A and B are shown apart, each in its own frame.
Chain A
Amino acid sequence: MQTTQPSPNPAAAKTAEQFAGGVRERVGKIVVGQDVVVERVMIALLTGGHLLLQGLPGLAKTLLVNAVAKAIHLDFKRVQFTVDMLPSDIIGSEIIDQKSGDFRIHRGPVFTNLLLADEINRAAPKVQGAMLEAMQERKVTIGGQNLKLPTPFLVIATQNPVEQSGTFELPEAQLDRFMLLHRLGYPGRDDEQMILQRQLGMGLRREDGGAVPRSAFDMIEDNPGASVEDLVTAMEAVQAVHVSEVIVKHCVELVRRTRESKLLDFGCSPRAGLALVNASRARAVIHGRDFVTPEDLFDLAEDVVLHRIRVSYEASAAGHTGKQVLEGILGTLG
C-alpha cells in the first residue's frame, strides 16, 4: 500500500479543479437542476466518504450516480434493497461450482467502485449492517477469506422519506458512517421545464429490429472524460488543501456546541468534525481554491451534521427542528 503525503501542489490543484469541473460539466449535460447533489457526490468521491441521499423517487438519483461513474470511468453497480434480501446478496457468497465441484467465491455487487444502494432503509438491519460494515472496513469476508473492495470505493445510498411502513430506519450509529446526508429537493421550475424539453427531443433508440424511446441514460457518453488516475490526482489535491487554525477551531466549536445544546438529545461525534473538515477541503478544490473558507463549513454543515444529531423530545414538542437548531448554532459561531 502506498501512502500519499499531502503537499501543496498548484498544478495538481489546477488539475483537480479541471477534473471536478469536467465531471460536473459532463454530469450537468445529463442531469438537470441537481448541481448541489453533483457537488456532494464529487465531495464524497474526492474524500472517500460515503453519501446518503434522502429524497423522493424520480429525482434522478440513479441517473446522477450513473453519469458520475461513466464520467470517471468507474465501475458502477446498483442494488435495489428489499426486505427479503440477505447479506450475501450484497457482499457475495461461497458457492459450489457444479462443473468443477469446487467452492468458488461469488463476489457480490459491493465489489465495485461506485455502488448505488437504492432505498437502503428497505433492507433488514442485518443486511444494512453487512453493507455498512463493508463501507467502514472496505473489505468483506466470504467463506473465511478476507477480500478487499476495489479502490476507490464509494457508496451512494438513497432512502425514501415517505412510505416508511415496512422499512428499517438506519440507526444513528450507522448513519454516522455516512459522511454526508443530502436531502434532495425537487428541481426548480425552469430546471423541470428543461428536463421535459430534453426528453421531448430525444427520439427513439433502434435496436434488435425494434425501438424504444431514448432516455437520459442514453445520453450518458460511453467514453469517460476522466480516469481513475485523474481522480487520484484530485484526491491528492484535496489532501493538500490548507485548513487554517481558525477554521479548525470553529469546526470543533460547532461540534462541541451540538453536544452542549439543551435542545438536542445528543450531538455529533468527533467523526462529524473530521467529515466536515474533509468535505470542506473537497469543496474548496471543486471551487478552485487551495484553502478552506467559512463558507465551505456553512454550506456543508447541514449535510454533515444534521443526521448526526437528534432533537430532544421537549424541543421537538416545542416545534424545534434539527435544521433550526443547527442554524441557531451556526449563527452563534460567527
Chain B
Amino acid sequence: MNAALLLTVCVLAAVAPAHAQQPAALDAKVLKQYESILTHKFSRELTDIFSALEKAERTDPASQTASDRFFYLFRTGDWAKVRAELGVMPPELARKVYDKMLGDLTEKQKPNVRLDDVLGLADAVPGELTGDNLRKLGQLLSLAVPANESYWIADRLAKGTAKLGGSDPAKRLLAGRVLLAGGFKELARTYLPSLAQVEQLADEGLRNELTAFLASQQETEATQRAQVQKIWDENLRILTLTKVNDWEKTKAGAALARVMMQIPPGTLGPVFADMVKSQPESAVRLVSGFGRKLQSEIRGEPAVRTENLKAQTSVATMLGENADLRAQPWNQLAQMMAEHWLVEAENTFTQKTSPSSSKPKLVAPEDLLANAPSGKWSAALPASLRERLDVGLSKIILASANFDSAAERIVEIGKRSPGAGVALAEDFLTVWAQTHNPTLSEAMRRKYSLPDDARIPVTPIMMEKNIQSLARMMALFRQAGIAPKDYQKVVAAFDLAYSNAEAYRTTHIEKVFGPLAKMDEQLFFLILSRMHANLTERWRKMDVQKAGLTRRNETQTLEMVRAGYAGALQMIDDWLTGHAEGSRALTLGGTLLMDWGDFEYFQELVSGDAKKRMVGYKEKNLQAQDYFQRGTAAYAKEVAKLAPAEHSIDAHLGWFHGLIGIGSGGQLNLSKAMNRAALTKIRESLLALPGKAAQVHLTLFAKTVNARLADERDPLHEDLKYRYLASALVITKDNPFTLGAEKKVGYFDELLSELRLQTRVDGPNTVGRDQEFGLIVSLVHTEAMGRVGQFGQYLSNDPGAGPGKARRKSPFARKMREAQGPRDEFELSLMESLTPFFDVKSITFASTDVKPRATAQPGWEETVLAYLLVRPKDASVDKVPPVELELKFVDLTGPVTIPAQSAETVIKVAANAPPRPAQKVEVTQTLDTRQFGINGALVLEVKATATGLVPELNELLDLAALAKAVGIRQTNAHEGLQVKEINTWGDRVAPRTERLWTLSLNGDVIRAAEGPVDFHFPLPKTTDVVAVYQTYKDMDLATLPQPTVRLGRTVAAAAGGVVLKPARNPYLWPGVGAGAALLVVGLIYLLVRRSADDSEKPLRARDVFKMPADVDGFAVVALLRRLHASPLATLREPQRQELQQDLQRVQQTCFGSNGSKMTEADLRGVAEKWLRAAC
C-alpha cells in the first residue's frame, strides 16, 4: 500500500503545481475516467473502505484509473488530495463531483464521517461553498458530532480551516451558517454577525434567514409584551367609554381578565386600585370576567388552573386592599372566588385519595394551601362558607400528608362542628391508610414487572411506628368526640399499619381502638372477622412470611398462628366478661375453634406427630361444640327482642357447618363423619326458640339448605353432598322446604338398601387370644347393583377406574387421611375402624376384576373386597366394629359419595380356641447342608402353604424328635403368616397363605460323630398334610424320596482328614488351599534361593523387621501382621498359629472396650519374642 500511496503522492505532486497555476487540459481517457465518477455512488461504509485498501494494495498504482484513485482518496479521507484531484478536473465536472459527493453522503443515515471529514470536505470544495453545500455540510456535521459535544467543533472552528471559522468574517459567516444548518444554534450565534450587520447583507434570502434566527428570541418577547399592553389598553378604554353597550363591556372585561396576569404588578396594582375607586362598575366587570375565565378553565390543565388560583389570590388581595369586601358586590365576588378555591380543593383531595391509577389532573396541595382565602378575604366570607373552607383546608393539609397538622385542625373543626369532625376524621383515616399502604401501585408494578401482590415489607419497627401514629390520632379523635364511625375504614387502616405477616396483638388493638370493654360492638366484630380471615388465609403462609421479611421458620410461624387464634379467642372471652352472652361472639368463637382444629391437623408447617395433631384437633372441636351450644342458647334469649326481619340462623348454621366440616374460609374437611347427637342438639336448640320463632327459624334453616342444594354455580362437593343433606335432614326432619333434600337422600338410601357392607370371620367366631384369624370384608348386593356398581374401583388406586371423570383434587377439600386412590382410602378406613381392637397383620384386596358370588338369598350376590389377617388386642374384644366404605355414585347433580357401613360382628376371644380352617396344607422342608462342611451350620427351612390359614409350626410338625436328635438352636419365623391371594371363586372364600420358618440346627452332634449320621426330617402331625423333603446335592437342590438324609464323616474321609459326606467342597477347598500354600512356600523358597544366588547381600528378615520406635498396641499389631504375612519370616506352622493367637490377644487387650491394657513392657516383650523367632 505504501508504494501505491507514494505513487499517488507523486502523481498529485505532479498535478498540484499545474493546478495551482491553471488546470492543464486533460487527456481524453483520463477525463472519461473522471467523468465516470459521476456514475458511482459515494460511500464511506467500512466495507467500502476495507475494499478500497485491499484493492489499492493489490493494484499496480501505475495501472490505477483516475476514478479509482479518486474513490480511494475519498474513502480513506484524504481530503487535501481530494481537493487536488477536484482541482485537476474541469471546473464544471469538479462542481458536479463535489455536489454529488455531498449529496450521496447526506442521503445515508450513517455516512461514517467524523468532524475532520466534514471540515475536510468543506475545504475540498472547488470554488465557493454554496448555500446547498453549507446546508449539507451542516447536516453531516450534526451526524458527526453529538449535540452535547459541540465543544469539539468550537475548538476546531476557533482555529479556523481553509474555508470555515477563524477570524476572517467571511469564513466566520460560513461557519455560522454550517452550524445553524447542523442545529448548533448557540455556537452558530457566536459566529454569525450582529442583527445590524446581517441587515446589511446583499443576499436577501440569506439576510431574511439570518434575521429570522437572530431576531426571534428578542423580538417575540417584545412583540408579545406590546400585544398584551395593546389589548389591556384597548379594553380598559372600552370599559371607561359610556357609549359602549354592556355586552361590549363584558367582553372587554373578559379580555382584560385574560391578559391581567401578564401585566406587570407594578402597572396592574395602581390601575386596579384606581378602577375600584373611580370605576367600580368596570372593576366588577373585570373581576367577573376573571371569574368566568376561572369557570371555563376549571377542567383545564393543572398548570393553567394553578396560575388562575394565583391570579385569584392577587385579585382578592387587591380587592381587599381597595374595597370593603363585606359590602356588595365585592362580598359576592369574594364568595365566588372562595367557592372556586373550594372546588379545586375538593378536586385535589378526591383525586389524591382515589385509588385510580390514572395520572391525576389536580392543583398541587401546596399551591392550594398558598392560595387559600385568608386575611380580609377570609374575614369577609359568611360563617358557613368559612366552616367549609376550614374543612377544605383540612383536607388539603391531609392530602399533603401533614397528618399532625391535619389532625389538630380536624379536632378544632370537630369542636365547632362534630359532624364535620367525624367526616374529616374518616377522611383522615382514608388518607392515612393510603399513604401507609405497602402495596405497590399498578404503575410501579408494571414499570418494574413486579407481581400483582408486590408490597413493601412492613418491618417490625415500621409497624410499631405506624401503630403509634395511628393510635395517637385515634386517641386525639376519641378525646375530641369525633372518633370515626366508618369502622371499615378504621379496621382497614389498622390492617395496613400492620405487617402482612404479623398476627394482631391485643395490646396493639387496644392501643389504637381503646379498651376492649368500651369498644363498639360493630367495631369489635369487624376486627375479629378481619383477624379470622387473616388467620385462615394469610398469616399461616410461608410465602407471606418470606415476603414480610420476618425470618420466621415454620415452627415459629406455627406458634404465631396458634398465638393468633388464642389471642382472638381471648378477645372473645374478655368481651363476654364485660357483656351479656352474645350469640354472635360465641358463634364466632366456635367457628374460630373449628378452624383452629383443622389448622392443627392439616397444617403443613411442622411435620409433627400425627397423634399430637389429632389431639389438638379433637380438643379444639370439643371446645367449639361448647361455644356453639352457648351461642345458640344466647340467641334463644336474644330472639324475643328481635324484629322478624332481624331473625338469623347464623349461630345454628355456623354450628352445622362446623359439624360437617365446612370451614369459614371455604375449606372443607371431608373426614368429618355425621354426628347425629350434635345435629339433634342443633334441632333441639332451634325448637327451643320461644313461640313461633322455633318454626320460623327451622324454616329459615330448611330454606338455606334448599338454596345450597340448588346452587349450580357452586355445587356441593361430591364427598360432602350426602353428608350435608342427610345431616340437614336430621335438623329439619320433615320440613316442606327440604323436600328436595329428602328425596335425594331417600334416593341415596334406596341405593344403600340394595347394597350393604359386610364383615365376617373366616371360620369359627371364637378366636384365640394370640391367634391370628381372618376377616372377610365384602359387599352384599342385588344382582342389578352388581352389574352397575363397578366395585372393582375400590380395589385399585387408579383414579380412572371409577364412574365418570376422575375426581379433581381441590386444594380446599381435604381429608385427614392421605390416600393415593380409592383402595388406599378403603384401607385407611379399615385400619381406622379396626386398629383400636385388633392388630391388623395384613390386608389383601381381591383383584379389580373380582366376580360376584351367589348367596343363599335369591337375587342377591356377594362381592368379596378384602381379606384381613388380624389378631385381637386383648381378651376384652368382643366384636368386629363397623367398617365403612365410601361408595361412589353419579346422580343428576353429578358424582356423589355415600358412606356404607357394616354391622357389628360378635366374636369371642378364648384361651383355647379351635384352630383356624386350613385345607390343602403342603409342607416343604429343605435341609441346607452347604455350609455344614465349612462351619457346621445346618439349616432346615420349612415352607408351608395352605388354603386357609397355615397353622403354627408345632401344630404342623413333630419337632420333638428333631430337637432330641440334633438340637434346635434357633427358630426364625420370618414375617409369619403371609396371605398370598384370596380365592373368591372356589366353594368358599378362603385365602391362599404361606409361612416360612428357618430352623438353625446344632450340627456339632453330627460333626462330632465318628461315622455318618442319618438325619431325620420332622414328620407332619396330621396325615392330610402333603410333605416334601429336599436337600442340597453339591450346590443343587434335590428332592428326597424319604424323610432321611445321611450326614457326617465317611470312612474314606476319616483316613484322609476332615472330609464330610454331604458336601464335597469342604474336602476339596482345604486340599486346594493346602496345595496352594505348598506352592506358595515352594515359590518363596525358590525366590529366596534365587535371590540368594543373584545378590551378594540377600534380604533377610532382620533387615526388614525392627522393633518399632514407639511401642504401642498399634505398632506391635502392625509388626505381627507383617511378620505373619512376610515370606522372609522363618516361622513354622505351629509358630504361625501361635503368632496369630498373640496377634488376637494383643488386639483384644489393646483395642477391646473391656480388655485390660497391656503395658509397654508387655508389648515390647511380645514384639521381641516374634522378632527373635522370625529373624
Contact = CB atoms under 8 A, between A and B. Distances in A.
A binds B: yes
Contacts of A291: 1147-1148, 1151-1153, 1155
A274 to B, nearest CB: 18
Interface string B1072-1083: 100000000000
A99 B1151 contact: no
B415 to A, nearest CB: 57
Nearest to B975: A223
A173 interface: no
A27 B1151 CA distance: 31
B1153 A190 contact: no
Contacts of A102: 808-809, 811
A295 B800 CA distance: 60
Contact of B1147 (A201, A225, A295): A295
A246 B799 contact: no
A334 B1118 contact: yes
A293 B1153 contact: no
Interface stretch (B240-248, B912-920, B1107-1115): B1107-1115
Given A242-B1152, A244-B1113, A293-B1117, A223 B974 contact: yes
A61 to B, nearest CB: 23
B835 interface: no
Contacts of B1153: 8, 242, 290-291
Given A198-B1035, A333-B1118, A334-B1118, A294 B1147 contact: yes
A291 B1072 CA distance: 33
A184 B1147 CA distance: 29
Contacts of A197: 1035
Interface string A268-294: 000000000000000000000111111
A171 interface: no
A214 interface: no
A259 interface: no
B1117 A294 contact: yes
B1114 A334 contact: yes
B610 interface: no
Nearest to A73: B975
B255 interface: no
Contacts of A209: none
A244 B1036 CA distance: 46
B808 A246 contact: no
Interface in A6-53: 8, 25
Nearest to A241: B1153
Contacts of B391: none
A286 B1108 CA distance: 30
B1021 interface: no
A86 B606 CA distance: 31
Given A223-B975, A333-B1114, A333-B1118, A247 B1151 contact: yes
A334 B975 contact: no
Nearest to B1110: A334
Contact of B1150 (A25, A99, A244, A298): A244
Contacts, number: 76
Nearest to B1115: A334
A225 B1116 CA distance: 40
A139 B1147 CA distance: 40
B996 interface: yes
A246 B1118 contact: no
Contact of B1117 (A198, A289, A295): A295
B1114 A294 contact: yes
B299 interface: no
B1090 interface: no
Contacts of B996: 223
Contacts of B809: 100, 102
A244 B1151 CA distance: 5
A11 to B, nearest CB: 14
Nearest to A250: B1114
Contacts of B811: 102
A35 B1108 CA distance: 33
A223 B974 CA distance: 9
A101 interface: yes
A23 B1112 CA distance: 36
A194 B1152 CA distance: 38
A190 B1151 CA distance: 36
Given A100-B809, A223-B996, A334-B1118, A201 B1036 contact: yes
A334 B799 CA distance: 66
Nearest to B970: A18
B975 A295 contact: no
Contacts of A249: 1114
B1170 to A, nearest CB: 13
B237 interface: no
A294 B806 contact: no
Interface in B530-555: none
Contacts of A8: 1153
Contacts of A201: 1035-1036
Given A244-B1113, A247-B1151, A99 B806 contact: yes
A100 B996 CA distance: 44
Contacts of B931: 25
A93 to B, nearest CB: 19
A293 B1155 CA distance: 13
A203 to B, nearest CB: 11
Contacts of B292: none
Interface of B: 799-800, 805-809, 811, 931, 974-975, 996, 1035-1036, 1072, 1108, 1112-1119, 1121-1122, 1147-1148, 1150-1153, 1155
25 contacts: A99-B799, A99-B800, A100-B807, A101-B808, A102-B808, A102-B809, A190-B1072, A194-B1035, A225-B974, A246-B1112, A246-B1150, A290-B1152, A291-B1147, A291-B1148, A291-B1153, A293-B1117, A293-B1147, A294-B1114, A294-B1117, A298-B1118, A334-B1114, A334-B1116, A334-B1117, A334-B1121, A334-B1122
Given A244-B1150, A334-B1116, 9 more contacts: A194-B1035, A201-B1035, A223-B975, A225-B974, A291-B1147, A294-B1113, A294-B1117, A295-B1147, A334-B1118
The 10 A-B residue pairs with the shortest CB-CB distance, nearest first, are A334-B1118, A242-B1153, A293-B1147, A291-B1152, A294-B1117, A99-B806, A244-B1151, A334-B1115, A291-B1151, A250-B1114
